[in-house]
Structure 1
């Protein structure tokens, strides 16, 4: 039991700005596969300067690429631990905004948002950077290359083999079900009608922009309060901030402000 507990301990970072507004939303920044806390801190900084508390966390890479029904169970447990961050730090009364990257962030967001709704946490918005996409083989292969390319050809090919083998084995063993298909879950969700900001590029290189726009359209149909898409056109996967820093920050800060204002207005009714 202790080994299982330790295996699912989460390594997160909580940033509370010194002059933070104690009623503003908490921003959960959920990273892309392979991202580190120092990668996510640059995003935390521009939220922090506006008084938002942030939580930074990235799902383990294997949980993204070696997916199965049993791994989904582990992700659900991690989602409950992420809720515990709110509880342990007396933040449960605060509204929440998610800022998620790539399919790893989108996957964790899908389950964490469900836990938050069960616990009556007010989710007021989500920023989706370079996500989500359908779980297609071509997307998986490109994503693994994106994450593993700097490790060298041998480690890359080895991990590629594990990815393909896991996919085949999971389906043969019946360890694959509808819950694994996060894209369809997000597309058909009747509950996620909070505000959405999609930051993408037609030159992403990993995820087709058509997948992202399909989800955006589904949120409009579902009745989401705000649905905005921003096409950076030539920046690559999860690199829109790096190439268009000022525009990226402006879009995110304005979106967070709009979500916060809308929550305040609804609270007065």
Structure 2
């Protein structure tokens, strides 16, 4: 549902983003360095609102964010990838039910794109576009794969280029063959070392 609500310009994740940032104060770690680890497009949608709150909300603007890691995202609008992701979610359902859901999802997605995208574009910026031009300047690490059937590698690479254009310190690693959000499973030692090294560089 979050994908549809965001497409319609309904900021359904903004409240959740604020609650997550408030946890920093609940756990009394607001003076500690913060590093985001963002997974796939749903995570990127949530991160988009967290960045906005960090820049506009009085309570959060003093938090010390040192970096962000993106795993398997963000990806631009991609119906085929969305269908593949939904297929994975529904893999334990019967074949007929899975097919019904996929066809219904595809039809609704196409209708939303044709009927509502031009309208919502007047007052709502797509999360991918918003992240390309985000005002954040902490370092970013992008972990992706050409073998990802859900989020296209070229979408991540376009994001990297856009962030570099905003003078953000960016590193990207293409795992080449690992599937969507499976880089850690396929390359546990390498993945962990990339994240730990990035974290150390961010807090130094």
What range is the shorter-chain TM-score in?
0.7 to 0.9
- Once the two structures are overlaid, the 10-residue window that deviates more, 89-98 or 197-206, is 89-98
| CA distance, structure 1, for counterparts of residue 17 and residue 74 of structure 2 | 18
- Once the two structures are overlaid, the 10-residue window that deviates more, 237-246 or 121-130, is 121-130
List alignment gaps of at least 5 residues for structure 2: none
Q: Secondary structure at the match of 2:38?
A: strand
| CA distance, structure 2, for counterparts of residue 255 and residue 203 of structure 1 | 23
Partner residue in 1 for 2:165: 221
Aligned length: 197
Q: Does 1:88 align with 2:32?
A: no
Shift of the 80–218 alpha-carbon distance from structure 1 to 2, 3 Å rule, reads same
Partner residue in 2 for 1:241: 184
| CA distance, structure 2, for counterparts of residue 173 and residue 132 of structure 1 | 22
- Whether the 8 Å contact between 2:79 and 2:109 is mirrored in structure 1 is no
Residue 87 (structure 1) shift: 1.9
**Alpha-carbon displacement from aligned partner over 1:197-238 (angstroms, at most 9, x marks no partner):** 1111111111111110110111111011x3111111111111
Q: Does 1:159 align with 2:101?
A: yes
Q: Does 1:141 align with 2:83?
A: yes
Partner residue in 1 for 2:3: 64
Normalising by structure 1, what TM-score? 0.66
Q: Does 1:203 align with 2:141?
A: no
Q: Does 1:102 align with 2:45?
A: no
Partner residue in 2 for 1:230: 173
- Whether the 8 Å contact between 1:131 and 1:207 is mirrored in structure 2 is yes
**Alpha-carbon displacement from aligned partner over 1:155-193 (angstroms, at most 9, x marks no partner):** 43343314632652576367733635111111122x122
Greater RCO (CA < 8 Å, at least 6 residues apart): 2
Normalising by structure 2, what TM-score? 0.86
List alignment gaps of at least 5 residues for structure 1: 1-61, 262-269
**Alpha-carbon displacement from aligned partner over 1:29-50 (angstroms, at most 9, x marks no partner):** xxxxxxxxxxxxxxxxxxxxxx
- Whether the 8 Å contact between 2:79 and 2:106 is mirrored in structure 1 is no
- Once the two structures are overlaid, the 10-residue window that deviates more, 120-129 or 140-149, is 140-149
Q: Does 1:130 align with 2:72?
A: yes
Residue 115 (structure 1) shift: 1.2
- Whether the 8 Å contact between 1:134 and 1:211 is mirrored in structure 2 is yes
Q: Does 1:258 align with 2:201?
A: yes
| CA distance, structure 2, for counterparts of residue 214 and residue 166 of structure 1 | 23
| CA distance, structure 2, for counterparts of residue 221 and residue 86 of structure 1 | 31
Q: Secondary structure at the match of 1:100?
A: strand
Residue 254 (structure 1) shift: 0.7
- Whether the 8 Å contact between 2:8 and 2:116 is mirrored in structure 1 is no
| CA distance, structure 2, for counterparts of residue 154 and residue 76 of structure 1 | 35
Q: Superposition pairs for residues 114-129 of structure 1, below 5 Å? A: 114-118=52-56, 119-120=60-61, 121-129=63-71
| CA distance, structure 1, for counterparts of residue 53 and residue 34 of structure 2 | 12
